[in-house]
Amino acid sequence: MCDVFNSVAENSPEASLHLIGRGKDYWEYLSESVLSSGAKKQTTYYGSKQTNELSEILQSASICIFPSLNENFSLAIEEAMALEKVVIASDIPAFNEIINHNTNGLIAKSKEDYIAYIDQIFKKPEDFKYLALKARKDILNKFTREKMVINSLHYYQTILSDKI
């Protein structure tokens, strides 16, 4: 994703990248080998954070990007969507369960997609506000703790009733 930000930083000098997760060694690798000097100046690295610390960081974001190549059902993506952030995520099964492309977020299939979506959002943020609003609505309708408990109980009851 940092190589994507190199392009974004060139086109949008006001943009900033805020990295959360991974270890210090990974950050050193990125800052020395991947990020351009301009992009590096526009980047903040937070390291690993607890879930309760993410909300404050996410509040200041315009766009939240999830470039994972392999992930389970992600609470971080739900948190960003619940905070009405425009979300761009990789085209992987776990994210496709949460995001409906161009309805409540954007699914990127390539680095070029990420760059194009970010550029479009920065140029006309008002055109993408509907994604953030729909994202929050979907999270509240489908993925609250209460909804997940009810759905899980229903699922287990269905399995058990089939075995009886």
On whether residue 41 sits in a domain, the answer given is: no
| SS3 per residue for the chain | CHHHHHHHHHHCCCCCEEEECCCHHHHHHHHHHHCCHHHHHCEEEEECCCHHHHHHHHHCCCEEEECCCCCCCCHHHHHHHHCCCEEEEECCHHHHCCCCECCCEEEECCHHHHHHHHHHHHHCHHHHHHHHHHHHHHHHHHCCHHHHHHHHHHHHHHHHHHHC
Total number of domains in the chain? 1
pTM for the whole structure:
0.83
On whether residue 67 sits in a domain, the answer given is: yes
- The pLDDT tens digits for 33-76 are 999 999 999 999 988 888 778 778 888 888 999 988 877 666 78
On whether residue 33 sits in a domain, the answer given is: no
Burial of 100 (0-12, 13-18, 19+ CB in 10 A): middle
The mean of the pLDDT values for the chain is 89
- The pLDDT tens digits for 88-104 are 999 999 999 999 999 99
The values of phi and psi at residue 92, to 5°, are: -125, 155
Which residue range forms the structural domain that includes residue 54?
Answer: 49-163
- For residue 128, the domain's CATH number is 3.40.50.2000
Bridge-based pairing of strands 86-90 and 106-108 is parallel
Q: What angle do CA 99, 113, 58 make, to 5 degrees?
A: 55
On whether residue 7 sits in a domain, the answer given is: no
